[in-house]
Amino acid sequence: MKPVLIIRTGRAPEPIRARHGDFPHWFRLGAGLHPQQLRIVDVAVGEALPPPHEVAGAIITGSAAMVTTRESWSERTAGWIRDAMDAELPLFGVCYGHQLMAHALGGRVDYLPGGREIGTQTIELTALAARDPLAAALSASFRAHTTHEQSVLEPPAGAMVLARSARDPHQLLRYGPHAVSAQFHPEFNAEVMRAYIRRKHADLRREGADPREIFGAVAATPTARRLLRHFSRDHRWTAIVG
């Protein structure tokens, strides 16, 4: 059986990794995958991606990097995304992965107007979500964790906007039958979200935000966390789901 590829575009900060693990672990749990069925490629350190036909699908992680810097590893990964789309490979991008998919397919990524979005947000489905099979896993309004400075400002032509937040109108995008991306973090639990807010405490104060208020508003996000599991099942990764 072909492995599911995790395209690692960065790492969680060391203090968070030490206590909570890192991106591949969170995505494995979120998607319900067995460790031995994963293939992890760290593109940010130059590891080469396999041809799309060698994997069952791919999850593209978040990163502290910015898509707009057009780093060589990121642009190579964007090219791979285009090849994977041509091959109709199941793809799920999150945060940086969400932005990179949109960039690769012709959308525009830049800094979110009004500054960073961080904490537990209310996400609302759009009218287009009513006929989307993956959105069936979600309620019309649900909570999700976010932490980002850049965002998809203009989705690629033909992309369907499935969900939005008050600050970001492009929280969940579908690019085709097998390709979806989310700006929010379905792989985060509440403790991970709190850890990120603690780490950004000084930045938030400098930006005029109240980190204590943001921290206090963190809540469980069971609906958002179902998203990865449903994507895994919908794209026939069920044989490797525990």
pLDDT one-digit tens code per residue, 53-96: 999 999 999 999 999 999 999 999 999 999 999 999 999 999 99
Provide the residue range defining the domain that includes 30: 4-240
According to the model, what pLDDT value does residue 242 have? Answer: 44
Given 145, 185, 230, 235, the catalytic residue: 185
Q: Residue 113 is which amino acid? A: P
As a whole number, mean pLDDT of residues 198-224 equals 97
Secondary structure letter of residue 33 according to DSSP: B
Q: Give the pLDDT score at 240.
A: 45
Is 187 noted as a catalytic residue in this protein?
Answer: yes
The mean pLDDT value of the chain amounts to 96
CATH number of the domain that residue 173 is part of: 3.40.50.880
- Is position 88 annotated as part of the catalytic site? no
User: What does the pLDDT look like over 122-159, one tens digit per residue?
Assistant: 999 999 999 999 998 899 999 999 999 999 999 999 99
The confidence band for 236, taking pLDDT boundaries of 50, 70 and 90, is: confident
Across residues 27-42, what is the average pLDDT? 95
- Tell me which of 103, 187, 230, 235 is the catalytic residue: 187
Which pLDDT does position 211 carry in this prediction?
98
Pair 151, 230: CB distance under 8 Å: no
Q: How far lies 119's CA from each of 193, 217, 225, in Å?
A: 7, 7, 15
Domain count, the chain: 1
Helices assigned H by DSSP within the chain: 14-20, 23-31, 72-86, 96-104, 190-199, 201-206, 211-216, 222-234
Q: Which of 95, 145, 170, 230 is catalytic?
A: 95
pLDDT of residue 210: 98
Token output for 222? 């069971």
The CA-based angle 30-35-224, given to 5 degrees, is: 5
- pLDDT score for 32: 93
Q: What percent of the chain has pLDDT above 90?
A: 95
| 178 given a catalytic annotation | no
User: Which residue type sits at 133?
Assistant: P
Q: Are strands 57-60 and 4-8 parallel, antiparallel or unpaired?
A: parallel
